[in-house]
């Protein structure tokens, strides 16, 4: 009888077509997710004019989706560890596609906010699940790179929203960019067919044949045998109370630090995504130019995410992440001052790299920090608690915009959370992470087989 350590099998695998397929679907879902998140900021000036709402009320309209995202991240991240990630992802895609499209039918601020809240359940819920999925199936040597590459789809979605927004809003009205968001619902059958299920979930369900298929795709040299048995380390086994594991093994303090770091980063991300267009328009730039800034912001985010992931695989991810928070503090502060346009574009790109890009690297770090069986739960709670920062950001910055403060004061208000987030990251106790604890426990595990090389007499 052979006993296969699924965790080690995934860690030691070489990147192949199966990994590429997981990367493709997770990245595509995040592209749609990023579009849905960015589309409101793109259309906000037009919505405010059409519905006759002021800046403060517009902030509450934007926050309705973020409020939904808070519940979605916590609920769908946790429930995925019980119903399986594949179905959780499909449900989330259905929610954010259908209700974002419905927001385009809204005639007033209340109806619009209600539709965005329901869409937010899906937008927030899908993030922890795709990050956990990509983390689980990625080879250890390139894990951070693959997760951040996948999550750079968020920036691609924002860029698509900015590009489409220029043409669609002028030609067909603000509603058109919301109707376009309904298309991903058509992909749900393909997602259910193509996206693999979580391995600890399958193990807990006793679905051995499916595990054999996944194992052979992870490592093509593995040949399934009838007597094969699969296992994961005890801390990676799914159970009925995943939330408590966020505070086991000395992880409680670091869990809170992750929550603070996420709160601060998501405050910055949604302050920019909601108000950058309006702030730049009020500073004298045309709507077209202001939308170009959003495009540059998201292009910078994509570069920052990929570069951050590459650095995190080569250096300590904790300190790479702290450095990105520091860069955010500097770039955001400088954005509030007049400067030549080329320099302004560079700063906006750096701001995107160090806010949206930082959040993407933070997602990757969180996915690595927690054991496999509770990754979706750990990231879901971090994102869920962090969403309170995302909810506050459009409201707080909307109030500041309504007070007609100087531009630099608005950007300083967005930059302060970067300093707090950096401190929180530096306080994370990395020696309590799942990877470190696994390495410490390895000698005690004995000669548990991994892949085709580990066998034990039956």
| DSSP 8-state code for residue 222 | -
Q: What residues are paired with 4 via a beta bridge?
A: 230
- pLDDT tops 50 at residue 357: yes
Element (H, E) at 230: strand 229-231
- pLDDT tops 60 at residue 378: yes
Residue 244 CA, chain-centre distance (Å), reads 22
Q: What is the 3-state composition of the chain as percent helix, strand, coil, each rounded to the nearest 5?
A: 80, 0, 15
pLDDT band at residue 283, thresholds of 50, 70 and 90? low
Question: What pLDDT is recorded for position 232?
Answer: 57
Question: What pLDDT is recorded for position 442?
Answer: 46
Helices (H) and strands (E) in the chain, counts: 18, 2
How much is the mean pLDDT over the chain? 79
The pair of three-digit structure tokens given for residue 408, joined into one six-digit string: 């630099």
- Residue 205 inside a domain? The answer is yes
Residue 130 CA, chain-centre distance (Å), reads 8
pLDDT band at residue 384, thresholds of 50, 70 and 90? confident
| Position with higher pLDDT, 89 vs 207 | 89
| Position with higher pLDDT, 53 vs 35 | 35
**CATH number, residue 329:** 1.20.1250.20
- pLDDT tops 60 at residue 52: yes
- pLDDT tops 80 at residue 450: no
- Residue 20 inside a domain? The answer is yes
Q: Pick the closest to residue 21 from 133, 111, 174 (CA basis).
A: 133
- Residue 455 inside a domain? The answer is no
Q: Name the H helices within 239-371.
A: 252-282, 287-312, 317-335, 341-369
pLDDT band at residue 451, thresholds of 50, 70 and 90? very low
pLDDT tens for 97-115 read: 999 999 888 888 888 889 9
Question: What pLDDT is recorded for position 24?
Answer: 93
Q: Mean pLDDT across the stretch 8-30? A: 87
Question: What pLDDT is recorded for position 104?
Answer: 86
Enumerate residues 6+ apart whose C-beta is below 8 A from 407.
279, 282, 283, 336, 337
- Residue 458 inside a domain? The answer is no
What Rg do the C-alpha atoms of the chain give, in angstroms?
A: 22
- Residue 457 inside a domain? The answer is no
Q: Pick the closest to residue 362 from 147, 158, 156 (CA basis).
A: 147
pLDDT tens for 131-173 read: 888 888 888 888 878 887 887 787 788 778 878 877 777 778 7
Question: What pLDDT is recorded for position 458?
Answer: 32
Question: What pLDDT is recorded for position 156?
Answer: 83
Q: Report d(CA 380, CA 376) in Å as an integer.
A: 6
Number of domains in the chain: 1
- Return the minimum-mean-pLDDT range out of 47-51, 360-364, 434-438, 452-456: 452-456
* DSSP secondary structure letters along 424-442: HHHT--GGGSHHHHHHHHG
Provide the residue range defining the domain that includes 51: 3-443
Q: Report d(CA 60, CA 37) in Å as an integer.
A: 15
- Residue 456 inside a domain? The answer is no
Q: Report d(CA 41, CA 419) in Å as an integer.
A: 25
- Return the minimum-mean-pLDDT range out of 205-209, 267-271, 355-359, 406-410: 406-410
- Residue 454 inside a domain? The answer is no
pLDDT tens for 316-345 read: 888 999 999 999 999 988 887 777 778 888
pTM: 0.70
- Residue 396 inside a domain? The answer is yes
- pLDDT tops 90 at residue 295: no
Query: How distant, in Å, are the alpha carbons of 6, 279, 419 from that of 297?
Result: 39, 14, 20
Question: What pLDDT is recorded for position 276?
Answer: 74
């Amino acid at each position: 009888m052979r006993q296969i350590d699924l965790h080690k099998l995934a860690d030691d695998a070489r990147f192949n077509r199966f990994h590429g397929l997981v990367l493709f679907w997770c990245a595509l879902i995040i592209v749609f997710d990023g579009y849905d998140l960015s589309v409101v900021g793109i259309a906000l000036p037009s919505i405010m004019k059409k519905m006759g709402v002021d800046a403060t009320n517009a902030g509450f309209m934007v926050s309705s989706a973020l409020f939904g995202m808070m519940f979605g991240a916590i609920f769908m991240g946790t429930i995925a560890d019980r119903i399986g990630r594949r179905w959780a992802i499909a449900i989330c895609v259905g929610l954010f596609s259908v209700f974002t499209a419905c927001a385009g039918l809204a005639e007033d601020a209340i109806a619009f906010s209600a539709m965005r809240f329901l869409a937010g359940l899906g937008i927030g819920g899908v993030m922890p699940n795709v990050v956990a999925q990509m983390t689980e199936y990625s080879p250890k040597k390139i894990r951070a790179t693959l997760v951040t590459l996948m999550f750079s789809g968020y920036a691609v979605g924002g860029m698509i929203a900015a590009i489409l927004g220029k043409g669609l809003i002028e030609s067909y009205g603000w509603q058109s960019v919301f109707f376009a968001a309904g298309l991903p619902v058509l992909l749900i059958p393909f997602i259910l067919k193509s996206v693999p299920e979580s391995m600890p979930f399958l193990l807990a369900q006793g679905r051995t044949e499916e595990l054999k298929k996944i194992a052979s795709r992870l490592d093509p040299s593995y040949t399934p045998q009838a007597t094969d048995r699969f296992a994961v380390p005890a801390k990676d086994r799914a159970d009925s109370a995943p939330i408590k594991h966020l505070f086991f093994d000395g992880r409680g303090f670091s869990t809170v630090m992750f929550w603070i770091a996420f709160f601060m980063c998501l405050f910055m991300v949604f302050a920019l995504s909601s108000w950058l267009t309006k702030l730049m328009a009020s500073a004298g730039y045309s709507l077209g130019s202001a939308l170009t800034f959003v495009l540059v912001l998201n292009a910078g985010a994509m570069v920052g995410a990929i570069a951050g992931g590459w650095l995190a695989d080569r250096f300590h991810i904790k300190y790479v992440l702290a450095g990105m928070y520091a860069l955010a503090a500097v770039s955001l502060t400088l954005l509030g001052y007049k400067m030549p346009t080329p320099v302004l574009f560079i700063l906006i790109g750096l701001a995107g790299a160090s806010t949206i890009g930082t959040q993407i690297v933070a997602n990757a770090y969180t996915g690595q920090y927690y054991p496999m069986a509770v990754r979706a739960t750990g990231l879901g709670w971090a994102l869920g608690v962090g969403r309170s920062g995302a909810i506050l950001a459009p409201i707080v910055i909307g109030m500041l915009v309504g007070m007609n403060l100087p531009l630099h004061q608005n950007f300083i208000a967005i930059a302060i959370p970067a300093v707090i987030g950096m401190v929180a990251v530096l306080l994370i106790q990395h020696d309590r992470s799942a990877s470190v604890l696994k390495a410490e426990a390895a000698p005690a595990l004995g000669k548990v087989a991994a892949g085709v090389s580990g066998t034990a007499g039956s």
